[in-house]
Chain A
Amino acid sequence: MAYAEQVETEALHEPKSFLTRYIWSQDHKVIAIQYALTAIFVGLIALVLSGLMRMQLGFPGSIGFMDAGAYYQAMTMHGMIMVIYLLTALFLGGFGNYLIPLMVGSRDMVFPYVNMLSYWFYLLSVVILLASFFAPGGPTGAGWTLYPPQSITQGTPGTEWGIVLMLVSLAVFIIAATMGGLNYVTTVLQARTHGMTLMRMPLSVWGIFMASILALLAFPALFVSAVMMLFDKLLGTSFFMPAIISLGQSLEHQGGSPILFQHLFWFFGHPEVYIVALPAFGLVSDLISTHARKNIFGYRMMVWAIVAIGVLSFVVWAHHMYVSGMNPYFGFFFATTTLIIAVPTALKVYNWVLTLWQGDIHLTVPMLFALAFILTFLVGGLTGLFLGNVIVDIPLSDTYFVVAHFHMVMGVAPILVVFGAIYHWYPKITGRMMNERLGKLHFWITFLGTYAIYFPMHYLGFLGMPRRYYAYEDYAFIPQSAQDLNAFITVAALTVGVTQLLFLFNLFWSAFNGKPAGGNPWQATSLEWQTPQTPPMHGNWGAKLPVVHRWAYDYSVPGIEQDFVPQTVSAEELQHMRQRDRATTPKDQRP
């Protein structure tokens, strides 16, 4: 393996005690695991909440405490936790932290102390959020979009404590995400090793890099709306609160603009979709290339598509607001930008498929999840084209069609990548493989199960079944068959939910009992698989940093037997390998 000429002159300060190594750690790998485990923990809470909601919808009245208020609280917390505290935290704080320094050949993040703070602020935000379950009145039931005036007006659950805790928790989360994002972006810009040019970075790093930039610029919009709403709630200002009569009494507010909140929220909310999607795009590109033993098709195009999607994601936000009564010309503008953003997105899907084309496809567990992602993202993306058009969106707005669409495109699809990526990088993180049989079982039930859940929802949406209702009895326009379908969806959802225990079992069991993996079990090219130790030690690279000579996608290079060329192999070494293999290959089999 090639290394830089210069010997590391400055000593690495190894953490000495248990506390500094595992708790107050500044090592990006430990912080990544802390982030990931915390995110998975809150994600499980959100999963249980969705199970409770499905029980109410499929079998009304089967859960004693589930009244309308509790249903709204479960719905709100489910949405907010899944989008922000699970997916955002897991992709950026988890995968970003673990992979960026390893993939760009750095010893750690550039600001390790800030990185540690980032995790502890994240944990604090989670604690504040969960505290609302125990606050008087319970958590807020305003819906994950928290639209005023209802979110802070009497009658909505949790208007006393729940909403305040939610807004404070979001503000703390944004501070955490900003500290993390500054680290990720600066590390990519400043701490790449010798030869690691931007256009040699794996697409995982590109995806996470661009998503971090989006997070840095979009989260302030949520921060602004959270702060202004807190002012309205606690200090009686009227930023968002119009003059309003609530429970027969006229409130002190006047003149505020609820639509202003919607604009601010979605100015954050739409980039947020891509904050989740871009890392998924990046990670899945690397999974597909590695497990199909083929270079990624159109690498430069893929990079520019990531950049283009990132930029365009800031000019499509109001397609979430077609029914808010805004100027029809706005609708025309945002429908157009929405269709334009579909172009680089579709380009990525084509390139994934073309990467698979005539590849040496290994149907490993990570690859299964990657393939399932392509399908799911395609389905979710196509329904997005429907909803992106004003005229189709208006009748479908606030129906289960929308629920099905966004769960497919930004719920299931990214989660499939999360699973695939965990199965893929787990051997590097723990040094052991996850059990493949359990992994495949987990995959098939999750993949087929999610389709059993969300495909029927599109149909329910066409029937006109509105979302966010706690019970569907006595609505003349909803046929009885819809209720049967709801029961079916609930059974599927609970099955998929319980199956995740298989994954959790595999995750913890394999850490101690899995098959030893070695340094590079997938025979991958990127830097993280070339570390001297597995799992990598503090400082990642031993005495010398690696030197990069090529991009991350040299699979099945003609003329050599080994079907991958790591990024650390120089042109001379490659030439040497060619000559060696030529000597041992019979003449008729030479390329």
Chain B
Amino acid sequence: MNRLLLRNTDSFEPSGGWHPNAGMPSPAAMDRARTARVGLRLLLAVVSSLFLLFLIAFIIRSQVPDWQPLTEPLAPLAQTNALWLNSAALIGASIALQWARVAARRGNAQATLAGFTLGGLLAIAFLLGQLWVWRLFAAWGYFVASNPANSFFYLLTGLHGLHLLGGLVAWGRTLGKFLRHVPLARLASSVELCAIYWHYLLGLWLLLFALLTSTPQTYEAIAAFCGLR
């Protein structure tokens, strides 16, 4: 960010055009790719702010006595196998997209397409897995309003899923362009943006996973550390 803020505008070309030419990336297209990356990073800052506030609310609410932990022996998160499986899918998705990103940089269209497709499909698998966990919760009688811990579980996993779903819309549009044989040079930027977004959502998910499956003692320690107790 620092480099970005201090950049001397005298050193770049006044491109300003909006419609790229097919084929090689022009300086204008590279400029646009950089602009899109900056835009995405800003968006991720906004999403971070959103989830940070949710997590603070989570910690504060967890300190009220009516909180029934989801990690108790007879609660649905006593066993986290299902969530680990979903996490594996999301980690796989992130790796696949990173692979696509590197392949795109090297100009290998086929590998890019393969990695990109796999990344999206694994993300869809993750979402289906999360829905399955929701069904498990419901089957155990853990509904959204029965306890604040459940409410937060549905709320946070749901919002994370919605963000991934938004990413999948961008993924679907880019995939459509791949299938219409748009040259790789024009898609490399989209692949890169998807990869960055996927990595971010993986990191966010791991944080949520860790927090949602922690014990009340951990919440208490965090609350005490933040001065919320």
Binding site for B on A (CB under 8 A): 4, 6, 8-13, 106-108, 110-112, 178, 181-183, 185-186, 189-198, 216-218, 220-221, 223-224, 227-228, 231, 235-239, 252, 254-257, 260, 264, 267, 544-545
Mostly, the A contact residues are loop
Q: A186 to B151, Cβ gap below 8 A?
A: no
Whole-angstrom CA separation of A193 from B31 in the bound complex: 13
With A9-B17, A10-B17 in contact, do A217 and B66 touch (Cβ < 8 Å)?
A: no
Segment with Cβ contacts to A, from B1-9, B78-86, B184-192, B211-219? B1-9
- Bin chain B's interface residue count: 35 or more
Residues B8 and A197 in contact, CB atoms below 8 Å apart? yes
> Is chain B's interface secondary structure helix, strand, loop, or mixed overall?
helix
In Å, the complex CA distance between A217 and B43 comes to: 10
Query: In the complex, which of the residues A182, A193, A197, A198 has the most CB atoms of chain B within 10 Å of its own CB atom?
Result: A182
Contacting pair A257 B60 (CB below 8 A): yes
Q: In the complex where A198-B5, A238-B148 touch, is A189 in contact with B38 (Cβ < 8 A)?
A: yes
Min C-beta distance of B26 to chain A, whole Å: 8
Contact indicator A193/B14 (Cβ below 8 Å): yes
Minimum CB distance partner of A3 in chain B: B14
In the complex, the answer to whether A237 meets B145 with C-beta atoms within 8 Å is yes
B14 touches A544 (CB 8 A): yes
In the complex, how many angstroms separate the beta carbon of A272 from the nearest chain B beta carbon?
14
**Nearest A residue to B41, CB-CB:** A186
Residues of chain B lying within 8 A (CB to CB) of residue A178: 43, 46
Using CB atoms, name the residue of chain A closest to B34: A190
Bound Cα distance from A255 to B114, whole angstroms: 50
Cα–Cα, bound, A231→B54 (Å): 13
Please measure, in the bound complex, the distance between the C-alpha atom of A217 and the C-alpha atom of B65, giving whole angstroms.
Answer: 31
Given A10-B28, A189-B5, verify A182-B42 contact (CB < 8 Å): yes
CB-contact partner of A191 in B8, B16, B42, B159, under 8 A: B16
Partner of B46 from the list A4, A220, A264 (CB cut-off 8 Å) is A220
For the complex formed, measure the closest distance between the CB of A105 and the CB atoms of chain B, giving whole angstroms.
Answer: 8
Q: Which 7 A-B pairs rank lowest in CB-CB distance, beginning with the nearest?
A: A10-B17, A255-B66, A220-B50, A236-B145, A237-B151, A545-B14, A220-B49
Residue on B nearest A107 in the bound complex, by CB: B16
- Among A110, A216, A257, which residue has its beta carbon within 8 angstroms of that of B49? A216
Looking at B13, B43, B145, which has the most chain A CB atoms within 10 Å of its CB? B145
When distances are taken between beta carbons in the complex, the residues of chain A under 8 Å from B64 are: 255-257
Q: Could you list some 14 contacts between A and B, CB below 8 A?
A: A10-B18, A106-B16, A110-B39, A182-B46, A186-B35, A186-B39, A190-B38, A224-B53, A224-B57, A237-B148, A239-B61, A254-B66, A255-B148, A256-B64
